[in-house]
Amino acid sequence: MSTTGSTHGYTTQVRETVRAWLDESDRVLIAAGAGLSAAAGYDYADAERFKELLPALSRLGFRSRYLLGAPLPADMMWGYWAVHINDIRHSPDGNPLYRGLRELVGDRDHWVMTSNVDALFTRNGFAPERVFTPQGDYGQLQCTTPCTRRTWPSKPFLDTVVAAYDHETGRVKDRAALPSCPACGGAVFPNVRVGPEFVDDAFLPNGNGMIEWLDATPAGSRLLVLEIGAGYSTPGVIRWPAETITRKTPGARLVRVNPDCPEVPEELADRALSVPVRADVLLTELGR
């Protein structure tokens, strides 16, 4: 079934086709972008949630969490990072949408490839050794130089920032609380991909493991590439690789779940399915 789809193209037949393809698969690759976490309640564009978490920045005219590179002084920027990362990465609560996805995959042989740096997969039942996060992880900090390939758990640094953070002014009151590199004393940043300084050492083994798993797909097996919430912001990270994997794997199928850009390549013909809805709609219905 090849379809470009739209927000009005989600039908019972589409949903049941997804269910059938999942039932017929013995291997699943979940390829997830920001749309999955947004559907799970972590929408970076949510202005109301931003105002609730960061009222001082909201009063300055900022409207969303997309603050990378914003012209803010260090005490306000680290106040933002501490609040933002504690909310999305270090919250102790489980997430029902991600847990539902894990239950849906069941005991099928599976891997995850995601651009999300929030660790919501591993925090909700997916094995860490089967999750590839090429964009990094908010759970670690790195030197911005970098002077070393080491990284450090972010939570102890951020707890220190939060203890000195003034919610109303948006500033860290004690500049000594601002994090610095334990090795050289220089600036640090979340261990996420922002440029050539990104320290990706910790993530490469899982990337290689996923490639080996794909290369070892047994003849006659059925791989389902379940792509969720991956648009055109950084298509080379999730969207295009998902298409390439489907093309190169005999018998593989692609399910693309995306309310805004659900179109699938025509050349994949009946091996690709467009599902033009948010992930929570589809996954909730499949879990019933």
Count the neighbouring beta carbons within 10 Å of the beta carbon of residue 195. 7
Residues 227 and 246 in one domain: yes
Helix (H, G, I), strand (E, B) or coil at 50: helix
In a domain, 49, yes or no: no
Per the domain annotation, does 264 fall within a domain? yes
Looking at the fold, whether 278 and 245 belong to one and the same domain comes out as: yes
With residues binned 3-state (H G I as helix, E B as strand, rest as coil), the percentages for the chain, rounded to 5, are 40, 15, 45
> Residues 12, 107: one domain?
yes
The CATH number of the domain where 106 resides is what?
3.40.50.1220
More confident residue, 283 or 70: 283
In the predicted model, what is the mean pLDDT of residues 138-144?
98
Mean pLDDT (whole number) for 119-139? 98
Mean pLDDT of 126-154: 98
Give CA–CA dist 166/72, Å, rounded: 16
Render pLDDT for 242-261 as a digit per residue (tens, 0 to 9).
Answer: 999 999 999 999 999 999 99
In terms of domains, do 162 and 268 share one? no
Q: Does residue 50 lie in a domain region? A: no
Within a domain: residue 53? Answer: no
Evaluate if residue 2 carries a pLDDT over 80. no
In a domain, residue 222? The reply is yes
Which amino acid, 91? S
Weakest mean pLDDT among 60-69, 174-183, 250-259: 60-69
Domain count, the chain: 2
Q: Could you give the angle at which helices 279-286 and 12-24 cross, rounded to 10 degrees?
A: 70
68 — pLDDT class (breaks 50, 70, 90): low
Domain ranges, residue 123: 1-41+95-134+203-288
What are the structure tokens assigned to 37, written together? 């976490």
H helical segments located in the chain: 12-24, 34-39, 47-53, 55-59, 74-88, 96-105, 154-163, 204-215, 239-248, 279-286
Asked if residue 185 and residue 161 are part of one domain, the reply reads yes
What is the model's pTM? 0.94
Beta bridge partners of residue 141, listed in sequence order: 152, 190
